[in-house]
Structure 1
Amino acid sequence: MKKLLNTVYVTTEGAALKKDGETLVAEIEGAEKTRIPLHMLGAVVAFGPILISPALIGACSGAGIAIVLLDRAGRFQARVEGPVSGNVLLRRAQYRAADGPEGVEIVRSFVMGKVANQRAVLRRALRDHGAEMAASDRAAIEDAAARLAAILRRAQLADASIEALRGSEGEAANRYFAVFDHLIRSPDPELAWTGRSRRPPLDPVNALLSFLYTLLVHDCRSACEGVGLDPAVGFLHRDRPGRPSLALDLMEELRAPLADRLALSLINRRQLRAADFRRMDGGATLLTDEARRTVLTAWQERRKEERLHPFVQERAPFGLVPHLQAQLLARHLRGDLDAYPPWFWS
């Protein structure tokens, strides 16, 4: 249970939230854990089976405090609000920004966060395993990290258009994945990296990445829904029927440190081997059922790990970062923040 950006996140299954006067009371197994005055809250986000008393629901609805219900995996289920809501104003601001010149700065933040975090993953690999690498592998990673730094500087230029920023993002992804094989330390030749493939993934590493990206985009979509943003209207990703473009935008800066790093850990620590993948008749490669359970367990553990949020300046679990970033984007769109602050991993 954690309070960040005037939102209470309840992640302990079986917790009970009640109203005592003008205060929210949280209990676990009958023992009181915290008390928070309602006037200090903007939202309550509950993960999984959490008991919320009718009195608290009524008090929150009357005070304009949203209650967001997510399942155990963090997928959006419902949002409970009173009759007065600012969501229509927030979404109008989102649509105006997506169609107007101010969208450039939001795209710039997404791109800078993504490229900086990709570079951080490469630098971390050099720091942790550089001494064990072949000189050619180390040189390739160092060159890619230097190229990403140059792309990052270019993205900061004031006159960059959305199309130019999209081009920088694509170039950075190519540079990053060009050296991804140097980060894999598995003895299984079947787990070698030959390039990104999607829909369907054609090799084990791509199958693992695609599965993790699916989990991450679910979290980002829930975060958008939870704060009242329209997950279908993005800035970096163009609108397309059925595509959660804004959720994909939020995911970009989180892919490398959350999904890619976890994939590398599972492979390099031999938690996943070649036998944990199966090739289908059409060429697609999928995780076995047992391997999928291994990945889901590791994903849930990774989401519990805490890092200092560079903007909020508080420690927060990885699993709450999409929700914090969605809140910060909503605050920017409402005019409470001058710019959208990307999340930088270190």
Structure 2
Amino acid sequence: MPIKDTKELYCFNEITLSTKLLELLSKAGIIVHFFGYYENYIGTFYPKNYLMSGKLTVAQAQAYVDRRMEIANAIVCGIAKNIHFTLYHYYRHGKKDFKPYLDWLKNDVVRLAGAAKNIKQLLSLEGEIWARFYASFKFILPEEFMMNKRVKRPPDNPINALVSFGNSLLYSKTVSQIYHTHLNQTIAYLHEPTERRFSLSLDLCEVFKPIIVFKTIFECVNNRRISAAKHFDKKLNYAMLNEAGKKIFIDAFETRINQTFEHPVLKRRVTYKQAIRLDAYKLIKFIMEDRTFKPFDAEDNL
């Protein structure tokens, strides 16, 4: 595998690494993501950050103090817009049952987000957006992929397994994209900045979940590329993808995140993966130049 063509590595099984390999990876700026037994993200080997900016870090922290609600509000509204875009495709093809949810996303979420007085209220609204979204699965997916409730660590059924695995993949992709900017990954706005995780990656990946993770899940399941009977471990109550299922989902996820679209501002084709980094640049411009921060909006770009 030519190292000059390698940007990141994903480790889904038990492996042994030597310090010589880690030194080689570090010099080449290659990030390595590790996943646990239940396909959950457990950590990243992160080469020395070559794009450090004390000025931006100070400004990023100041924005957390002064303008956190403004950034968090934009992220929550971005989630709602991209869920609306994702579900409207099914609505146009005869799935009329979740029209009340679509109307709520389009007409009420921006008002409710604007009325929120603190982060706790915004997070409550975000939770309601996702809860209603999960409830709409019964109109899209077959019965074997119904979600009664969101369960993590570990997931308890096929749909929770797919969601957890897809979210972990997207989070790690976001970590990699932010690594190539001057942003400090530990300073976040919607999620609380905490130890032992890159909270900013959690922020920026949220708006991409509907159009990358869930579109991948819907397409894999509805096109019968993945089935509960064939692609999940029966010994674990179908709560974990088997090797065949994992390969199918990763292939579909990679195809999706590397899909291109015509960027309305740049006037060239970019991938969803590049769009994540572009959102990071938008945040930098908001912090340093006071430009409007508007996360990726699928309706504007596709």
**Do the two structures share a fold, i.e. TM-score over 0.5?**
yes
2:29 partner letter: L
Aligned-pair distance for 1:277?
A: 0.8
Aligned-pair distance for 1:293?
A: 0.8
% identity of equivalent residues:
23
Whole-angstrom distance in 1 between the partners of 2:104 and 2:198: 30
Aligned-pair distance for 1:241?
A: 2.2
- Structure whose CA Rg is larger: 1
Partner of 1:164: 121
Whole-angstrom distance in 1 between the partners of 2:275 and 2:209: 12
Matched, 1:345 2:292: no
Whole-angstrom distance in 2 between the partners of 1:245 and 1:16: 29
Query: Secondary structure, in 3 states, of the residue corresponding to 1:285?
Result: coil
Partner of 1:277: 232
Aligned-pair distance for 1:292?
A: 0.5
Partner of 1:24: none
Which whole-Å deviations, capped at 9, do the CAs of 1:129-156 have from their partners, x for residues lacking one?
31xx5xxxx23x1111111123333146
Matched, 1:243 2:200: no
RMSD between aligned alpha carbons? 2.9
The 10-residue stretch of structure 1 (143-152 or 213-222) with the greater mean CA deviation from structure 2: 143-152
| Residues 80/197 of structure 1: CA separation in 2 closer, same or farther (3 Å cut) | closer
| Residues 72/299 of structure 1: CA separation in 2 closer, same or farther (3 Å cut) | farther
2:188 partner letter: G
How does 1:144-163 map onto structure 2 within 5 Å? 144-155=101-112, 157=114, 160-163=117-120
Partner of 2:273: 319
Could you tell me which of 253, 257, 270 is aligned with 1:303? 257
Which whole-Å deviations, capped at 9, do the CAs of 1:307-328 have from their partners, x for residues lacking one?
2345545431112121111122
Q: Normalization by structure 2: what TM-score?
A: 0.80
Higher relative contact order (CA 8 A, sep 6+): 2
Does the Cα contact within 8 Å between 2:31 and 2:47 map onto a contact in 1? no
Partner of 2:61: 95
1:108 partner letter: N
How does 1:104-253 map onto structure 2 within 5 Å? 104-127=69-92, 129-130=93-94, 133=95, 138-139=96-97, 141-155=98-112, 157=114, 160-184=117-141, 186=142, 189-253=143-207
Query: Secondary structure, in 3 states, of the residue corresponding to 1:338?
Result: coil
The answer to which structure has the higher strand fraction is 1
| Residues 76/341 of structure 1: CA separation in 2 closer, same or farther (3 Å cut) | farther
Q: Normalization by structure 1: what TM-score?
A: 0.70
| Residues 87/280 of structure 1: CA separation in 2 closer, same or farther (3 Å cut) | farther
| Residues 163/339 of structure 1: CA separation in 2 closer, same or farther (3 Å cut) | farther
| Residues 122/15 of structure 1: CA separation in 2 closer, same or farther (3 Å cut) | same
Whole-angstrom distance in 1 between the partners of 2:167 and 2:254: 14
Unaligned runs of 5+ in 1: 1-12, 18-45, 50-66
Partner of 1:62: none
Whole-angstrom distance in 1 between the partners of 2:135 and 2:109: 17
Does the Cα contact within 8 Å between 1:76 and 1:222 map onto a contact in 2? no
Whole-angstrom distance in 2 between the partners of 1:200 and 1:117: 27
Unaligned runs of 5+ in 2: 10-26, 34-43
Q: How many residues align?
A: 272
The answer to which structure has the higher helix fraction is 2
Aligned-pair distance for 1:230?
A: 2.0
